[in-house]
Each structure stands twice: as C-alpha cells, then as structure tokens.
Amino acid sequence: MVQAVKSIAKKNRTAEDSVVSHPVCDEFLGQLVGERFLVVRKIGRGGMGTVYLAHHQYLTDGPRYAVKIMRRENAKGEQNPLLQRFEREAKLLGHLHHSHIVRYYAHGEDRIFSPTRRTTIEFLYLVMEYIVGPSGFESEAVTLGDLVMRGPLGLRHIRRIMRTLTEALSEVHRQGIVHRDIKSSNILINKDGEAVLADFGISKPLGTDWSTLTKSGMVVMSCNYASPEQLLPNLPIDARTDIYPMGILLLEMLTGRLMLRPRDHNFAHTISKDRLPSHVRPDVGPSMDAVILRALHHDSSQRFQSMKRLYQAVVIALFIGRVERHLTAMIIFLLLSVSGLTIWLVIR
C-alpha cells in the first residue's frame, strides 16, 4: 500500500480533489465507496490492490483518505491468500490505536456498476488515514526510503524516527501481533518528521502456526529485511523477529544507503567493516555499530528483547558518541594550544 501512496501527485492540488473527471478511464473515479467515501483520483497500485485518494462525499474540504480497493475477481474463493491477507490487515488495523500507526476508518465489501464494461464490479475496500509528509518532496506521501535516498539522516531526526517507530511497534507487540514486514517503504513520514507504521498485510498474531504459511505469503515478504527465522524452517517467530529489520533501518538511516547486502549461511546479513556507521560518518562511534550488530544477530535470543530496549540502546549510543566527539575536540584543542604555546616560547 505504501509503495502505491508514494506515487501520488505533487502538492497543492487540493482544488483538484473535488473534481471527479479524469482523462484515464477508471471505473472507481467519482464513485462512492462504503456509501460515503468519494473517490477522487488513483494514487497507484499496491501489493493487494489499487489505492485511491478520497474524501467524504459532503466534505470536499475535509479530511482525505487512502482507500485500498481489491476487486473480487482477483481474489476468488474464501480461502484465497490475497483475500485472507486483505481481511487480516483490516481487522488488525481496526484493533490498533496509536498515533504512529496508520489510522483505520472502515472496511467492507461493495459494488459499483461499470458503464464501460456494462457489468457490476464487486470489491473489498479498506479506508485508512492519508499521511501528508514533510515539504520539499515531489510527492505528498513520503516514506522512510525516500529520506534515505537523499543521504544520511541527522542524528536528532534518527532519534525521533526510532522513538516513534519503536513506540508504535511496542503497541503492536503488546497487542500480541508480529508485523513481519518492516521495511523503509512501509514506514510513512508525517509532516513533523515522525514515523507512521503501515502495511499489516502479512502481520499475524503471536502463537500462530507458522508452518501453515503459504508460498504466496513468502513471496509478498521483503527478503531484504526479513530475519533469518523468517527464511529458515522450524525457527520460532516472535516479537524479536521485528527487531532484526529495525537494525537494517537504523543502518540505512545512518549511512544513507539502502540495504542490499548478501547473507551468510544463517541467512543473516553480512556487513563489511567499511559499511558500519562509525566508518562512514564522523559523528557516530563504535557503540552504535554494536547496537546494529546486536539487532542483526542471526540468533533472536541474542538480539534486543524488546523495542524499548532497542531504543534505549540507540539513545545511549548517541550519547556516548556525543561525549566521544566532545572529548576528541577537547584533546585536539589542548594539543593545539600546547603546540601554539611551545612555538610562541621558542620564537620569543
């Protein structure tokens, strides 16, 4: 869903939001979904359907919504994996209430009549909060991946994103849910520069029989961020599974490069020494390297055991790095002062 939202048109098009005509033929444009959400324009396509921008039929200047639509013809049968994931995402979002988790508004089944096809189209829909990102980007919707592609993030911004994201995931885990698909494209950034967690399509409750995971379920999972236990058979999956991709996100934010590194025989990411943050930027010390390497440990029992512990470790590493920089600057200042004094005494 988030990848689809990324492609939304540029800002300052609110006047166009009330216009339902569109040069491209799309049966849903100008239609009411769920009896009250008026579809304005297509945002793009996601993994489980098409996403549209919509507003309340009577409030054209009111809140805007992201409406995900999946046609029934693409998910026939009650046991269809796509249908199950769509329903699961809607139900999970309906139970999650947090300021940094994309807000759920409604979901259900509906139908419209298509004049071009002269037939009725049945579909499922999910209405969610539409997140407007910070200014300065081509799109209104901005993901963490968009930020990373611009280069390394500032340490204060990284701390803010880690705080909001770990708070959101702590609530997800408190509700007994494993997200299982944390990646930079699934994290929206709001206008305050904070993280908003989205895409719960392959999330599952803790205690799920993971052996029943379908092959199609494996396909939709992002292997670049998946933990070893998600890729290897007969390994337990729990809240610590979500710690692993958080280590990758932290590395990406610090280095400004998306993680595409190969894995070792344990399916854990192999990170060369020159890729570690302390070797890439001078304002980060080895303590942050240790945080990332622990989060990326192939054995989940050796990782941080909660999102709270991970965030605390990040804060401590940032503090240690700041102290180290100040001490280094002080030592350099003292050395320069002594050298200057020595030279002055010599030339007197």
Which residues are identified as catalytic? Answer: 181
Helix then strand then coil, in percent of the chain rounded to 5, is 40, 20, 40
**Residue 35 region by backbone torsions, left for phi larger than 0, else alpha for psi between -120 and 50, else beta:** left
Q: Which two tokens stand for residue 268?
A: 């854990």
Q: Measure the CA–CA gap between 47 and 70, rounded to whole angstroms.
A: 10
Q: By C-alpha distance, which of 51, 80, 77 is closest to 66?
A: 51
Within 10 A of 181 (CB to CB), how many other CB atoms are there? 22
Q: How far apart are CA 297 and CA 294, in angstroms?
A: 5
Provide the token pair at 18: 């009330």
For residue 187, what is the enclosing H or E element?
Answer: strand 187-189
Spatial separation of the C-alpha atoms in residues 199 and 222, rounded to whole Å: 12
DSSP 284-322: --HHHHHHHHHHT-SSGGGS-SSHHHHHHHHHHHHHHHH
CA distances from 178 to 11, 205, 215, 242, 243 (A): 34, 6, 19, 7, 10
Find the helix or strand (DSSP H, E) in which 244 lies: helix 243-255
